[in-house]
């Protein structure tokens, strides 16, 4: 019998469920995998040889495709990962063959505030410890591949500064004339380390490297993580890896990983990472874990490859997009679906009464401080005002021509009047609505949600992209800002405008996708503004080019690519039982 989530923390529930979990061999058998398609990593985690699966099942019709997104996040959390796992379990209880496809958590939030993103209560992905602490090494491979590019770049800068053309030629090197003021990449690591955002490297003699400004970003923001998410096979990944722009020459020419002749070695680090990881829910349904989080500063999607094999192996594939529908779902819609050609049947928008109160005017919670009592007391007015944020996200899903299902992720302090208000207003906005208690009751608590999703999937979607690739970049940004975020328009800094005009004038770059970087804490570019703000303009301050991944990256507001660690991080509560070796305190 499962532990009561009202009395036990998530890590204890996961540890208890792990005593009853299936082996990875049982999971593979349930999925219908052949023996040589499973690559075990111990008894309970494995990888799947996606190429062999697709070679065998490539002509089999796809199952139904469901994306899980949410309202604009608040410090209270909406339970998007929990809902994804709960829906998988609910569909399983209804006798459906179902697979979840979620993202691998970053060590940054796992050891900081957000936690491991394994779900919660009786809707979790297990085993929790490997899930939270590196899994099979995909993020480590990304760090090695990315930082190898930085090694190649900084070594070339040093050698070009110290050697003449004749000596370079003896090493079969051509002078790239890299401009040290126009370096596009930073180093990466998988923690939130604000003190490494801006650094000086090459201090010492000329044998100690090239003296220059540099810095670190978090690992999952790397273009290589984006490439992992959107690649369709190894050949595709290899071609993308050589297109990464690391810097510009003094004449303004892009310098790529291919120019540095490091792209082949980078791909070598990534070969194993291309295969999705196989795990399970606490109720034993299979879950594919692949690619990474942070849709506010990255693409934030599980991989195209994981979705492709899930759609061949199951009747339903439930995937997840990062943060709210303005960020994660928009990228799922206009980037991931465009690259994959896969059309979703439905999208679930997760909301909680407490988060809607926050958007409706309740005091914004501060992590580490006691929750204001108003969040446990009925206030239908705040809920109704907060639903304006939910409706904005419902409308975003509807613009894609996808059937929206609102999941009211239940909490024990919710009242009937508050739930009725959400249901009434969401249905008026054109969404199906389901109350779900998966956190408390697992799959049994998600039956209403599962039924609503099945019903939505039985209706034909009328899918369409927000923009075509022929649409000029500034017009695309304007469309995303006004039609998804609710802005009145867009303003650009002079530096951003110069870069955007250059993209618009380049025949290749102008046809790349658009991957916005924006705060996840607001529909606007100001994280302090809640609800559905009006009369504001989006400020775009910079532009990055991810030529390998296949998109340009406009950066809005003051968001950082390296988050910071809080004063009360999660690592203070993580420890190990020295007798058993079991990790405790993860959440």
Enumerate long-range contacts of 165-171, CB under 8 Å, 24 or more apart.
Answer: none
Q: Which two tokens stand for residue 333?
A: 């819609």
Catalytic residue chosen out of the listed positions 47, 80, 308, 354: 80
Catalytic residue from among 50, 216, 288, 323: 323
Question: Is 82 among the residues known to form the active site?
Answer: yes
Helix 353-360 to helix 380-399 angle (10° resolution) is 100
Measured CA to CA, the distance from residue 127 to residue 18 in angstroms comes to 6
Residue 553 three-state SS: strand
- Distance, in Å, from the CA atom of 587 to the CA atom of 577, rounded to the nearest integer, reads 16
Residue 581 in 3-state DSSP? coil
Query: From CA 330, how far away is CA 317, in angstroms rounded?
Result: 19
Which of 47, 93, 103, 331 is the catalytic position? 103
Dihedral (Cα; 367, 407, 13, 41), 10-degree rounding: -100
Catalytic pick from 14, 247, 291, 295?
295
CA–CA gap between residue 584 and residue 587 (Å, rounded) = 9
Residues written for the chain: 587
Distance CA 428, CA 179 (A): 56
DSSP letter at 373 equals G
Helix 380-399 with 416-428: angle, nearest 10 deg: 30
Active site residue 80: yes
Distance, CA of 469 to CA of 246 (rounded, Å): 24
Check 411, 463, 465, 587 and give the catalytic one.
411
Short-list 430, 128, 57, 185, CA closest to 49: 57
DSSP state string for 98-130:
EEEEEPPPPHHHHTSSS---SEETTEEEE-HHH
537-546/254-256 β-pairing: unpaired
Whether 439 is catalytic:
yes
Number of H helices, E strands in the chain: 21, 25
Strands in 17-110 per DSSP E: 38-40, 46-48, 64-70, 98-102
Q: Distance between the two ends of the chain, CA-based, in angstroms? A: 21
What would you report as the CA-atom Rg of the chain, rounded to the nearest whole angstrom?
A: 24
Known active-site residue 411: yes
Cβ burial 318-336 (10 Å sphere, 16+ → b, else e): bbbbbbbbbbbbbbbbbbb
- Of 439, 476, 549, 570, which is the active-site residue? 439
Task: Give me the catalytic one of 114, 186, 312, 331.
Answer: 114
323 is catalytic: yes
CA–CA separation, 313 vs 330, rounded Å? 26
- Asked if residue 177 lies in contact with residue 549, where contact means CB atoms within 8 angstroms, the answer is no
In DSSP terms, 64 is beta-bridged to 316
Q: Two tokens at 95?
A: 């006798």
Neighbours of 297 (CB within 10 A): 26
Active site residue 103: yes
- Integer Cα distance of 471 and 47 in angstroms: 39
Give every CB contact of residue 505 below 8 A, 6+ residues apart in sequence.
none
Residues with catalytic function:
80, 82, 103, 114, 295, 323, 411, 439
């Amino acid at each position: 019998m499962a532990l009561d989530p009202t009395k036990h923390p998530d890590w204890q529930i996961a540890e208890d469920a792990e005593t009853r979990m299936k082996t990875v061999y049982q999971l593979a058998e349930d999925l219908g995998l052949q023996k040589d398609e499973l690559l075990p990593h111990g008894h309970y985690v494995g990888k799947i040889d996606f190429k062999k699966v697709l070679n065998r099942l490539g002509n089999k019709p796809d199952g139904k495709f469901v994306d899980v997104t949410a309202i604009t996040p608040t410090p209270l959390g909406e339970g998007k990962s929990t809902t994804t796992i709960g829906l998988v379990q609910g569909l399983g209880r209804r006798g459906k063959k179902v697979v979840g496809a979620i993202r691998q958590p970053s060590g940054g939030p796992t050891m900081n505030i957000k936690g491991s993103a394994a779900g919660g209560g009786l809707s979790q992905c297990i085993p929790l410890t490997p899930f939270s602490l590196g899994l099979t090494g995909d993020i480590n491979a990304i760090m090695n591949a990315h930082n190898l590019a930085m090694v190649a770049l900084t070594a070339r800068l040093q050698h070009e500064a110290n050697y003449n053309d004749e000596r370079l030629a003896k090493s079969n090197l051509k002078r790239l004339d890299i401009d040290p003021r126009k370096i596009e990449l930073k180093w990466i690591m998988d923690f939130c380390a604000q003190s490494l955002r801006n650094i000086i490297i090459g201090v010492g003699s000329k044998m100690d490297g090239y003296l220059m400004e540099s810095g670190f970003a978090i690992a999952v923001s790397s273009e290589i993580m984006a490439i992992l998410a959107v690649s369709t096979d190894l050949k595709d990944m290899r071609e993308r890896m050589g297109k990464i722009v690391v810097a510009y020459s003094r004449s303004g020419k892009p310098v790529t990983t291919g120019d540095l002749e490091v792209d082949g070695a980078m791909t070598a680090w990534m070969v194993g990472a291309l295969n999705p990881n196989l795990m399970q829910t606490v109720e034993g349904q299979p879950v594919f874990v692949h690619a990474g989080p942070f849709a506010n500063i990255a693409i934030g999607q599980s991989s195209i490859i994981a979705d492709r094999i899930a759609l061949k192996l199951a009747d339903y594939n439930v995937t997840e997009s990062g943060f709210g529908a303005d960020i994660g779902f928009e990228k799922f819609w206009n980037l991931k679906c465009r690259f994959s050609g896969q059309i979703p049947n439905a999208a679930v928008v997760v909301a909680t009464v407490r988060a809607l109160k926050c958007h409706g005017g309740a005091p914004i919670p501060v992590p580490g401080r006691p929750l204001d009592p108003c969040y446990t007391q009925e206030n239908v007015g705040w809920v109704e005002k907060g639903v304006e944020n939910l409706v904005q996200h419902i409308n975003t899903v509807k613009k894609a021509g996808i059937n929206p299902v609102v999941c009211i992720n239940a909490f024990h302090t919710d009242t009937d009047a508050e739930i009725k208000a959400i249901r009434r207003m969401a249905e008026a906005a054109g969404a199906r609505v389901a109350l779900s208690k998966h956190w408390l009751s697992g799959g049994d608590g998600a039956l209403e949600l599962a039924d609503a999703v099945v019903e939505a999937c039985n209706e034909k979607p009328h899918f369409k992209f927000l923009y075509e690739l022929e649409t000029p970049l500034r017009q695309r940004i304007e469309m995303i800002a006004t039609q998804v975020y609710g802005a009145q328009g867009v303003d650009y800094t002079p530096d951003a405008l110069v870069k955007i005009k250059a993209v618009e004038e380049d025949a290749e770059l102008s046809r790349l996708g658009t991957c916005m970087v924006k705060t996840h804490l607001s529909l606007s570019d100001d994280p302090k503004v809640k609800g559905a703000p009006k009369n504001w303009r989006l400020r775009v301050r910079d532009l990055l080019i991810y030529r390998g991944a296949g998109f340009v990256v406009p950066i809005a507001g003051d968001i950082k690519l390296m988050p910071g660690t809080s004063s009360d991080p999660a690592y203070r509560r993580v420890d190990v039982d020295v007798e058993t070796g079991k990790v405790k305190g993860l959440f």
